[in-house]
Amino acid sequence: MALSKTQTKRLGGILAVMFGESLPNEIISDLIEQGFVKLSGQEYTLTEKGLDEKNRLCTLSGLNIMYKSERKVANN
């Protein structure tokens, strides 16, 4: 199943935050407003809701992208 334009934009933004890439202010603001991302000190990080959304969208698109810490939990 293909992701919608909105879902693709959201997943791209979430992945950019995960990997420390820069994002346009419009996208980061949307992710913060929706509760997927928060500002921690000088960096943006995913919230628990953001991790859940990343996993949902990755599953829909057939991807398996995880933080190193998530892999340890998944393998136990």
Domain count, the chain: 1
Q: pTM of this prediction?
A: 0.83
Number of C-beta neighbours around residue 44 at 10 A? 21
CA distance 76 to 3: 30
* CATH number of the domain where residue 20 is located: 1.10.10
Q: What is the residue range of 40's domain?
A: 5-75
pLDDT in tens, 27-64: 999 999 999 999 999 999 999 999 999 999 998 998 88
pLDDT at 74 over 80: no
pLDDT at 75 over 60: no
DSSP strand pairing (43-46 vs 37-40): antiparallel
DSSP assignment of 27-65 equals HHHHHHHTTSEEEETTEEEE-HHHHHHHHHHHHHHT---
pLDDT at 23 over 90: yes
